[in-house]
Amino acid sequence: AAAGLGVAAAQRSGLLGAAGSSDREDSGTATEPARTEAVGARSEAFYGPRQAGIDTMPQSFATFLAVDQAEGTERETIRRMMRVLTQDAAALTGGDAPINDQEPELALNPSRLTVTFGFGARILNLVAPERAPEWLRPLPAFGIDQLEDRWNDGDLLIQVCCEDTVSLAHAQRVLLKNLRSFGTVRWVQNGFRSVPGAEAADPPSMRNLFGQVDGTVDTQPDTPEHEQIVWGVGEQAFQPWIQDGTSLVLRRIHMNLDTWDEADRPAREDSVGRTLDTGAPLTGTAERDEPDFEAVGPLGFKIIPDYSHIRRSRHPDDRVRIHRRPYNYDVPVMDASGFASAGSSSGGVSDSGLLFASYQADVDQQFVPIQQRLDDLDMLNVWTVPVGSAVFAIPPGCQKGGFVGDVLFN
Ligand code: HEM
């Protein structure tokens, strides 16, 4: 079985004993598998009470994919599927090739890979209907929405994040192979941020494709605020649907780069309430300065305008917060001749935007009121359009030997 593998790779995948490795070492040649110390070798823990990929410092690349289960899927099928998916995700996360991996070398550099699973209403209603939270349904329709069904909803979410696109593509393929008999892929959405080291700050707030510093004000993992907002822990918290579970709202938001390019710099900065160079609030000088929402300029107008995105997205109730973990997307738009064409949602050269991933204990109490405020008023709406929307319940993690979602089967 090890014939097609390098010795080191075969040993990693458990096909050879220790002898394989000492033979190679004796020969004096450099035969360690192609694990790079810098990024490739770094791995995130898979097992634990909570799934990874939420509190994890964002990796540079993400794929969100949704699968529709086949008609007639049974509870037992889901149990089997989650068991297989969990085994493979755990192996890949640790830099090990799953048993049926035909390209095991591609599994050797986990590059901080995380795999996070989420359930749509159909799965949860099949597995544990008494657990299904009320918010596990499409969001209410917002006036700004121009949703395209090809980016909406889905039964099973797989979120794969990684510092390396090759490892990510491989993980995605291995996981999807398991799902062939379970259902069909509904959508795949690829996103990216700057790679480590590309930005000066460490860790950097990412920049989105409008050039804005994005992610300044957000909950920080391991703080009481984050525990409350994401995991529903604490007296002030909204109840999570299950302990150590949370929710994902994924909004695909088109950003019109062509009309944004036409706006002048003051208009762009006013639209958010922050400067473009450092991301500082218009009332401050550094990114992390606290905005002064009361400050007025010489003419008596508020310096951070009423319509600015940071004013609108900050709900007056500080329990109404979310944890954002967005990724940019950028898809070339070509017509039949191979030239960029201005399709309905395109900005001309490319179709760009944000995969706006938001995690919170309770979608209805946290995400919806913020989105409602932005629907009512937000200058950014001039250049942005939500084109996709999906809501998932994120089950707790699992221990070795278990599988993600196993608590729901008890
Ligand atoms: C803040 C961009 C959509 C919620 C910000 C900031 C930028 C930004 C540049 C300021 C820096 C920061 O604190 O991160 C965008 C863009 C969007 C978008 C380009 C769409 C393409 C949304 C949506 C929501 C949202 C859909 C929620 C439903 C927030 C929140 C903050 C924020 C909560 C922090 C506000 C505060 O200072 O308290 N966004 N955003 N954003 N955004 Fe957005």
Predicted confidence band of residue 348 (pLDDT cuts 50, 70, 90): low
Contact between 35 and 123 under an 8 Å Cβ cutoff? The reply is no
Positive/negative CA dihedral, 42, 404, 57, 257:
positive
* Beta carbon of 210 within 6 Å of any ligand 1 atom: yes
* Beta carbon of 370 within 6 Å of any ligand 1 atom: yes
* Beta carbon of 255 within 6 Å of any ligand 1 atom: yes
ipTM of predicted assembly, 2 dp: 0.99
Q: Tell me, what's the pLDDT at 203?
A: 59
Predicted confidence band of residue 201 (pLDDT cuts 50, 70, 90): low
* Beta carbon of 219 within 6 Å of any ligand 1 atom: no
Percent of the chain scored above 70 by pLDDT? 86
pLDDT tens, position by position, 255-302: 999 999 999 999 999 999 999 999 999 999 999 999 999 999 999 999
Predicted confidence band of residue 29 (pLDDT cuts 50, 70, 90): very low
pLDDT at position 79 over 70: yes
- From 355, 367, 338, select the one nearest 255 (Cα to Cα): 355
Q: What is the 3-state secondary structure (H, E, C) of 213-270?
A: EECCCCCCCCCHHHHHHHHCCCCCCCCCCCCCCEEEEEEEEEECHHHHHHCCHHHHHH
Predicted confidence band of residue 32 (pLDDT cuts 50, 70, 90): low
Its pTM stands at 0.90
pLDDT tens, position by position, 364-373: 999 999 999 9
Contact between 104 and 97 under an 8 Å Cβ cutoff? The reply is yes
Contact between 40 and 106 under an 8 Å Cβ cutoff? The reply is no
The CA 309 to ligand 1 mean position distance, Å, reads 6
Predicted confidence band of residue 182 (pLDDT cuts 50, 70, 90): very high
Predicted confidence band of residue 91 (pLDDT cuts 50, 70, 90): very high
| Residue from 206, 321, 324, 327 whose mutation best tests the ligand 1 pocket (most atoms within 8 A of CB) | 324
* Beta carbon of 271 within 6 Å of any ligand 1 atom: no
Q: What is the dihedral of CA 281, 293, 220, 87, to 10 degrees?
A: -90
Q: Tell me, what's the pLDDT at 19?
A: 33
| The two structure tokens encoding residue 105 | 């070398």
- Considering only residues 107 and 35, tell me which one the structure prediction assigns the higher pLDDT: 107
pLDDT-wise least confident of 15-19, 94-98, 220-224, 382-386: 15-19
- Considering only residues 199 and 313, tell me which one the structure prediction assigns the higher pLDDT: 313
Q: Tell me, what's the pLDDT at 40?
A: 92
Predicted confidence band of residue 350 (pLDDT cuts 50, 70, 90): confident
Predicted confidence band of residue 33 (pLDDT cuts 50, 70, 90): low
User: Which stretch of DSSP H or E encloses residue 21?
Assistant: helix 18-26
pLDDT at position 197 over 70: yes
